[in-house]
Amino acid sequence: MSNDNARVAVVSGAARGIGAAIATRLAADGFKVGVLDLDESACAETVDAIKAAGGEAVAIGADVSDEASVEAGIAKLADALGGPTVVVNNAGITRDNMLFKMPVAEWDAVMNVHLRGAFLLTKTAQKYMVEAKWGRIVNMSSVSALGNRGQANYSAAKAGLQGFTKTLAIELGKFGVTANAIGPGFIVTDMTEATAARVGVPFEDFKAAAAAQTPVARVGYPEDIAHTVSFLASEGAGFVSGQVIYVAGGPRD
């Protein structure tokens, strides 16, 4: 890394769940962290946890699907802690429905947060990486990118992020910037708990069923994803780029 000022990360969707775990882990690794989420006040818990552990963090309220909002958020981070050279595109929503009854609004909402959001945040932050001649981009895909019933929108968005990742790796590699994607399997979060509730299955049973289908015979936790982000953001991962790593407890096609 060119200098200490380059050690600034921004994590979208970092108010809770996987994003919060990633932000906390990157702070423990020595990064100053922009904790970005739609509701700035919701970021307080993550920011407070980072500061309590001796790290530096700032809460950023931004709608990742809105260009002006993203630009204002990154400007706030740059003023407070420095321009980000690590970007983790984790913000996401689900609007699950079968194709024949999926409203266009549900398709657009998912595309706007996952794909447009990752594009806008990365595009806004890349200038800091190019300037520093060092950067790390980590995009959150999913095993759903391989197809999942009732998730035409989510699956398409998560597969799209993989193509986006590979193109970023090609375009930005000469500037010392890597781009990789992580495809989580079943991770215990508010989102998976909501899915269990939606399908009418107790969460403990839902988790047990997921574990039974996983070779390592357990479900995943946000920290599992955070560990992988930590590696990809490290100096040692400088020759790993354009890859999709499934953190799912077993092989995926």
Residue range 174-200, pLDDT digits in tens: 999 999 999 999 999 998 999 999 899
pLDDT at position 48, please? 98
Round to whole Å and give the CA distance between 124 and 75. Answer: 9
**Looking at residue 69, which CATH number applies to its domain?**
3.40.50.720
235-248 residue pLDDT tens: 999 999 999 999 99
Q: Do 148 and 76 sit in the same domain of this protein?
A: yes
For the segment 48-93, what is each residue's pLDDT rounded down to a tens digit? 999 999 999 999 999 999 999 999 999 999 999 999 999 999 999 9
For residues 81 and 126, membership in a common domain is answered with yes
Section 30-59 average pLDDT: 98
**Complete edge-to-edge strand list for the sheet that includes strand 8-12:** 57-61, 32-37, 8-12, 86-89, 135-140, 177-184, 244-247
- CB 47, CB 24: distance < 8 Å: no
**Tell me, what's the pLDDT at 78?**
98
| Burial class, 68, CB count within 10 angstroms (exposed 0-12 / middle 13-18 / buried 19+) | exposed
Asked whether residue 193 falls in the same domain as residue 179, the answer is no
Q: Give pTM, 2 decimals.
A: 0.96
One domain for residues 135 and 73: yes
Residue 252 binned pLDDT confidence (cut-offs 50, 70, 90): confident
Question: Are 101 and 199 members of one domain?
Answer: no
253 located within any domain = no
Residue 98 is part of which domain span?
8-185+222-246
Residue 85 is assigned to a structural domain of this protein = yes
Residue 2 within a domain: no
- Check if 154 is active-site: yes
Say whether pLDDT at 1 is over 90. Answer: no
Is residue 95 located within the same domain as residue 190?
no
User: Confidence class of residue 4 from pLDDT cuts 50, 70 and 90?
Assistant: low
Q: Above 80 in pLDDT, residue 32? A: yes
Q: CA 16, CA 189: separation in Å to the nearest integer?
A: 9
pLDDT at 114: 98
For the segment 124-145, the average pLDDT, to the nearest whole number, is 98
Instruction: Please indicate, yes or no, whether residues 179 and 79 belong to a single structural domain of this protein.
Output: yes
Q: Of all residues in the chain, what percent carry a pLDDT higher than 70?
A: 98
Q: How confident is the model at residue 6 (pLDDT cuts 50, 70, 90)?
A: low
Q: What mean pLDDT value characterizes the chain?
A: 96
CB of 197 closer than 8 Å to CB of 207: no
Indicate if 121 and 192 belong to the same structural domain. no
Answer whether residue 207 is part of any domain. yes
Question: Over 60: is that where the pLDDT of 2 sits?
Answer: no
Task: For residues 103 and 194, state if they share a domain.
Answer: no
180/203 same-domain check:
no
| Domain match, 130 and 208 both | no
Residue 121 lies in a domain: yes
Specify the residue for token string 């375009």.
Answer: 171
Is 251 contained in some domain? no
Looking at the fold, whether 79 and 204 belong to one and the same domain comes out as: no
At residue 3, the pLDDT reads: 46
Residue for token pair 């946000």: 222
Number of domains present in the structure of the chain: 2
Give every CB contact of residue 166 below 8 A, 6+ residues apart in sequence.
Answer: 179, 242
Does some domain include residue 109? yes
Residues β-bridged to residue 138: 88, 180
Question: What single-letter amino acid sits at 133?
Answer: K
**pLDDT(5) > 60:** no
Exactly one of 128, 154, 221, 246 is catalytic; which is it?
154
The pLDDT of residue 10 is above 80: yes
- Cβ–Cβ under 8 Å, residues 185 and 224: no
179 domain residue, yes or no: yes
